[in-house]
Structure 1
Amino acid sequence: MSYNTSAIGSGSRTARRTFEFGRTHVVRPKGKHQATIVWLHGLGDKGSSWSQLLETLPLPNIKWICPTAPTQPVALFGGFHCTAWFDVGDISEDGPDDLEGLDASAAHVANLLSTEPADIKLGIGGFSMGAATALYSATCRITGQYGNGNLYPVDLSAVVGLSGWLPCSRTLRNRMERSHEAARQAASLPILLCHGLGDDVVAYKHGEKSAQNLSEAGFGNLTFRTYNGLGHYTIPEETDEVCNWLTSNLMLDGSRAY
């Protein structure tokens, strides 16, 4: 699936990018379908990597959708092409935000969720850059629009971010102040963030700062979990936490935590 977008700057030049998303992998629910979650992989990965893990989780009531990001040049790697939800040059609070890429990926995720049945709860989760995209999607849901001003079309019942960070954190408060509903929505949206203290790719301080920024912006239903010795990967203790949290916050039945 492709997504065309225009970046309108302050000058007269208009850059145009086309985003060609890769293959989407779906893990069907083994029990009664109660929730659908789009799960987003990290930089350089693909949807199939996570679909294999998600299929093993004791969450029979969840349908997982695992898309693959577009292949594009990434500034962090000197312009090397790899799968990425958006361009990134510096994973920090001071790094520039690729709003065009973020909007394109958030819109792709929303489109995947928009065709789900009306009685199904919807969620977004991800790892690393996928977590960053999930958190950006959460801010779009709360403000009711993407960064480009287009309306955000789906409701979200849960957001999960593992080893990630919050893009556009510097403008979050201003974005939220434009909507009277944003504060009320932010207070109730359940968000789970997990980060390893030993992460040498997305430093723990970035995960901690992201949780702090979200809390200060009014996201009142946020859980932040830390793991001693955990690097930039996931472990059973963390996936157990995700399973229990999703079961509780989505009010799933038929699930059992190991």
Structure 2
Amino acid sequence: MAAPRRVVIWLHGLGDSGPANESLASFFTAPELKNYKWRFPSAPFQSVSCNGGVVMPSWFDLLEIPIVAESPNMDADVLKAVGSVHAMIDKEVAAGVSANNIFLCGFSQGGALTLASSMFYPKTLAGAAVFSGWVPMDKEAFAAKITPAAKQTPVIWLHGIDDQVVKFSAGQAGPPFLARADVKCEFQAIPGLGHGIDAKELSALQRWMKEKL
């Protein structure tokens, strides 16, 4: 019997692109993960308010950087981006991949979108991995949109303590918020790490993905 099809969808950060992140897949060498197909979509080009309206790859508009827990959000713009990610997931499901065999991962703006997209999806995913992200909507509105199935999607959240772009406090506020919504989240603070991803975080993700199989 053929092994079940499995997919990882990776969402990049502001101003980045999917192809620029493809090398990340080579880090995941565990035998348990060899059947995974990796997808690296690119955000559309659009005007970004916090960068003076400059047009760049962006999943949704951002009003300010650095981002703190109390930063204002563009809820309607985030929901539009969530719809795009749900379409990506639906495409995999239509191709025969079970939702519970799909991991959604993202960094920075992509991490925030990973959180919203996984929590608002009508089916349980294999897991959601948030790197240097934040809750990108009004928290009351966000909590109201979390689906019953999504509450069973495991979440891992990793954040550098020295992050000066998405402040550590913004990331740290996420897991308690999820806990109040009955969502389980493993949080890891990475000492000495700024706004980026290091090998320690990728090792943690690989370990966590193996546990969730």
TM interval, shorter chain, is 0.7 to 0.9
Q: Kindly tell me: are residues 109 and 55 of structure 1, through their superposed partners in 2, closer, same or farther at Cα, counting changes over 3 Å?
A: farther
In the alignment, is residue 235 of structure 1 matched against residue 198 of structure 2? yes
Q: Find 1:166's aligned residue among 125, 130, 135.
A: 135
Instruction: Check the 8 A contact 2:47/2:53 in 1, yes or no.
Output: yes
Equivalent in the alignment of 2:38? 64
Deviations 1:167-208 (A, max 9, x none): 1142246515xx8x63x751x220000001111111110000
Q: Find 1:157's aligned residue among 121, 126, 133.
A: 126
Equivalent in the alignment of 2:15? 44
Q: Structure 1: 5+ residue runs without aligned partners?
A: 1-30, 145-153, 252-258
Deviations 1:58-97 (A, max 9, x none): 1312111111001111111111111111001132333332
Equivalent in the alignment of 1:254? none
Instruction: Check the 8 A contact 1:37/1:62 in 2, yes or no.
Output: yes
Tell me, in whole angstroms, the C-alpha distance in 2 between the residues paired with 1:204 and 1:75: 22
The TM-score with structure 2 as length reference comes to 0.86
Instruction: Check the 8 A contact 1:122/1:155 in 2, yes or no.
Output: no
Instruction: Check the 8 A contact 1:139/1:172 in 2, yes or no.
Output: no
Instruction: Check the 8 A contact 1:41/1:68 in 2, yes or no.
Output: yes
C-alpha displacement of 1:139: 2.5
Find the residue that maps to 1:55 and give its secondary structure.
helix
Q: Return the structure number with greater strand share.
A: 1
Highest CA radius of gyration, 1 or 2? Answer: 1
The TM-score with structure 1 as length reference comes to 0.72
Q: Kindly tell me: are residues 118 and 173 of structure 1, through their superposed partners in 2, closer, same or farther at Cα, counting changes over 3 Å?
A: closer
Q: Return the structure number with greater helix share.
A: 2
Tell me, in whole angstroms, the C-alpha distance in 1 between the residues paired with 2:55 and 2:78: 17
Aligned CA-pair RMSD: 2.2
Equivalent in the alignment of 2:57? 83
Equivalent in the alignment of 1:92? 68
Instruction: Check the 8 A contact 1:38/1:109 in 2, yes or no.
Output: no
C-alpha displacement of 1:32: 4.8
In the alignment, is residue 201 of structure 1 matched against residue 172 of structure 2? no
Tell me, in whole angstroms, the C-alpha distance in 2 between the residues paired with 1:211 and 1:175: 16
In the alignment, is residue 133 of structure 1 matched against residue 97 of structure 2? no
Equivalent in the alignment of 2:179? 215
Tell me, in whole angstroms, the C-alpha distance in 2 between the residues paired with 1:43 and 1:119: 29
Tell me, in whole angstroms, the C-alpha distance in 2 between the residues paired with 1:34 and 1:224: 28
Equivalent in the alignment of 1:106? 82
Which structure is richer in relative contact order (CA contacts within 8 A, separation 6 or more)? 2
Tell me, in whole angstroms, the C-alpha distance in 2 between the residues paired with 1:172 and 1:100: 11
